[in-house]
Structure 1
Amino acid sequence: MCAHVMIAEDDEKQAELVRRYLERDGHTVTLVHDGRAAVESVRHRAPDLLVLDVMMPRTDGLDVLRILRAEKYELPVLMLTARSTEDDLLLGLDLGADDYMTKPYSPRELMARVRTLLRRTRRPPEAAPEHLLTAGPLVIDPDRHEITVDGERIDCTPGEFRILAAMAAEPGRVFTRERLLRELHGYARYIGDRTVDVHIMNLRKKIEPAPRRPALLLTVFGVGYKLADPAKRTGRARP
């Protein structure tokens, strides 16, 4: 699966190394070395995937991500960070990153993550059309990658879309965090349960009238999450 990948990394030697690995896999690559250049380059030609370093001059990677998501760019983003605390990593996910790696990292592992993200965010041209997924006021169009609630379009990151689409395909079914992690990243074991919690929290802000008292995206205590089935009402789910 060939793609256009942008690398935003101020360490030119590291960026060049990643470029060689990507091109060896058949991808075309754009290199930029500061955050402002990354934003302008995406505006000029949005890539299929952005590999984004957090610590960059002029505009850091987190601000780049804020700008791109505010401007409704839905491209998948893999963040590179030297910060290893959970709060720093969750902040990137909260802003709309789809995956992250902590430096130093293995270029081979980076390539595995790139393949996973591209596989899960790009549909082959020959794929058959899919039907709309509905759950109460929620409507998901997998072909158009659109979500509406009561007719109003909701903007989601690729990761949020995959979670919601999986749950909307089976409303009322309880999804464990492990199952939702597989929807996000296959069977990769480097992502923690908190990743799912952050995505759920962000989705509730977008689809729930009262996010702290969710009526659609429910927590099932000790198990996981489910999307309320409008045809079945139970008292077992908790916000």
Structure 2
Amino acid sequence: MKERILIIEDEENIARVLQLELEFEGYEIGIAHTGPDGLIQYREHKWDLILLDLMLPGLNGLDVLRRIRATENHTPVILLTAKNEVEDKVAGLDLGANDYVTKPFEIEELLARIRAALRFSNGGQAKKDEHLYEFCGLSLHEQTREVKREDRQIELTPREFDLLLHLLKHPNQVLSREQLLDAVWGFDYYGDTNVVDVYIRYVRKKIEKPGESTLIQTVRGVGYVLKENDEN
């Protein structure tokens, strides 16, 4: 299967050149020209690596990186910047970028950095189904959208599925309502945060039948956490 790279770059000529070079190297490519569009594509598809320009319209590259790292830290991000200031590079690395390349750059150097980042993220580990998430008898497959608890099939709406998926990606981690809103409803959602509580109830009702242990637990005043019931 081809490795997938998302290019978030507002200069269309640069983005097009990168696309052609990377496709020639065998990668599958997605392109976004603004910060908000980059976040939408990041959330709607699975990527093996992100090339992220710092100077973007709508939402700058550091803000995009901050939002990505608020939800996960395993997808490699390489910054593309025309700036030479040390502060920008340090800020990007502190926010979780894996590497940076200063424009203008040689394509051979960028390709080498991409290969290195992908090797590091793979970590030499044995291949497993990266789309399957399992926790205490609960399983969810991101591609087939199949959800089960033990042998019981569970039907979820698209929003319920996305909420449970995010919880499964962060087991034993307390997530605030704001974090869940940002990850599931999107950074530009301006509705009531109580929608999180409503959908948590919907998901609980479907995955926690009578006699089954509670998996989604409320942390009063903060949010929710996916963890084993301490009483079991």
Shorter chain as denominator, the TM-score bin is 0.5 to 0.7
CA distance in 2, matches of 1:11, 1:107: 16
Report the secondary structure of 1:68's partner residue. helix
- For 2:120, the aligned partner's letter is R
Quick one: distance in 1 between partners of 2:2 and 2:114? 11
Write the distance in 2 (CA, Å) between the matches of 1:94 and 1:73.
12
Q: Indicate the residue corresponding to 2:66 in structure 1.
A: 66
Structure 1 residue 97: deviation in Å?
Answer: 0.3
Q: Which residue of structure 2 lines up, in the alignment, with residue 234 of structure 1?
A: none
Q: Output the aligned Cα RMSD.
A: 2.3
Q: Deviation above 4 Å: which 4+ runs of structure 1?
A: 123-128
- Is residue 44 from structure 1 mapped to residue 44 from structure 2 by the alignment? yes
Alignment deviations for residues 102-134 of structure 1 (CA, whole Å, 9 cap, x no partner) = 111111111111011011112567469xxxxxx
Question: How much does 1:153 deviate?
Answer: 5.8
Tell me, yes or no, if the aligned pair for 1:3 and 1:48 is still in contact at 8 Å: yes
- The whole-number CA distance in structure 1 between the counterparts of 2:2 and 2:115 is 10
- Tell whether the 8 Å contact from 1:78 to 1:98 is kept in structure 2 after alignment: yes
Q: Residues 127 and 43 of structure 1: is their aligned pair in 2 closer, same or farther, counting only changes over 3 Å? A: closer
**Aligned ranges for residues 19-58 of structure 1 at < 5 Å?**
19-58=19-58
Change (3 A) 1:8 1:102: same
Matched to 1:17, the amino acid is V
Distance 1:64 1:35 in 2: 6
2:160 equivalent in structure 1:
none
Question: Unpaired runs of 5+ in structure 1?
Answer: 129-151, 155-239
Aligned CA distance change for structure 1 residues 153 and 122 (closer, same or farther; 3 Å): same
Give secondary structure in 2 for the equivalent of 1:6.
Answer: strand
Contact 1:46–1:75 (CA<8 Å) still a contact in 2?
no
Q: Which amino acid aligns with 1:108?
A: E
Equivalence map 1:1-239=2 (5 Å): 2-123=2-123, 126=126
* Runs (5+) with no aligned partner, structure 2: 129-171, 175-232
What TM-score does the superposition give when structure 1 sets the normalisation length? Answer: 0.51
Percent identical? 38
Higher relative CO (CA 8 A, sep ≥ 6), structure 1 or 2?
1
TM-score (norm 2): 0.53
> Could you say what secondary structure the match of 1:92 adopts?
helix
The aligned amino acid for 2:47 is P
Q: Indicate the structure (1 or 2) with the bigger Cα radius of gyration.
A: 2
